[in-house]
Amino acid sequence: MTSLLHLDSSHSNDSVSRHLTGLFARAWRQLHGYGDYRYRDVAAEQVPMITSAYCSFAQRVQSHGALPLAAVAALAGTPSERREWSRTVPLVREVLEADTLLLGVPMYNLTVPPSLKAWIDRITFPGVFTNPETGSPLLRGKQVVVAAARGGGYGPGAPKEAFDFQTPYLRAYFEGMGVREEDVHIIHAELTRAADVPELARFQDLAKRSRAQAESRMAELPERLNRREATAR
């Protein structure tokens, strides 16, 4: 767990998800220092949306199966395809080089922000996260930590539990990319708008407890993951 890629995706000036990822990152740096820490704010510096050139290039590459990154570059046949690959490969390398992915993810309209979805769409280029020699997933063994903030209540037993398309999407995505179920850690802060949305005002105590629990879990998680890694050696 000695290299960390930290992504934030909130567009808010008072972001709970950014606050929570900051707690994890500070605790992680106390254990590991700054040398292998990388930060990307996909809301402030948005990842370009994929284009038709990206899609046609990806489909052609997919017909070759999993390939090393250098071999993918050699298949780009037009300036637009080369431009799309040049926008993609640095993001892919960041993910491959990280032992832990830390994502700050607010819920926007029941799911993830478009800034994060653009990043996901671009890095999910066919075959780049598969070992071309063995067919095994290159993300296996990585830790994924998600700080998931939601203005309302979507937890177990809540009336809107079935409307949560944030958590299931992220879990399905990363597990589908080869991350083990036990290595996906999603920590929620619920009812973050209770203090300023009138119809949620009666839930302010629940909101404070949810935030405090999320803060505690995010701050202690780096040490827990570090102990688990040491035990596994």
Residue 57 reports pLDDT greater than 60: yes
Residue 153 reports pLDDT greater than 90: yes
What is the model's pLDDT at position 165? 97
Residue 170 reports pLDDT greater than 70: yes
Distance separating alpha carbons of residues 100 and 94, to the nearest angstrom = 11
Binding residues for FMN: 10, 15-17, 107-110
Q: Are 21 and 103 in contact (CB under 8 A)?
A: yes
What is the model's pLDDT at position 114? 97
Report percent pLDDT > 70 for the chain: 99
Domains of the chain: 4-47+91-232 (3.40.50.360)
Binding residues: 10, 15-17, 107-110
Q: At what angle do helices 79-97 and 114-123 cross, to 10 degrees?
A: 100
What is the model's pLDDT at position 89? 97
Distance separating alpha carbons of residues 98 and 88, to the nearest angstrom = 16
Residue 1 reports pLDDT greater than 60: no
Structure confidence by residue, pLDDT tens digits, 82-136: 999 999 999 999 999 999 999 999 999 999 999 999 999 999 999 999 999 999 9
**Mean pLDDT of the region 47-52:** 98
**What is the residue-wise DSSP string for 214-227?**
HHHHHHHHHHHHHH
Distance separating alpha carbons of residues 50 and 228, to the nearest angstrom = 38
What is the model's pLDDT at position 229? 77
Supply the mean pLDDT for the chain: 95
Residue 33 reports pLDDT greater than 90: no
What is the model's pLDDT at position 232? 67
Structure confidence by residue, pLDDT tens digits, 198-207: 999 999 999 9
What is the model's pLDDT at position 231? 73
What is the model's pLDDT at position 139? 97
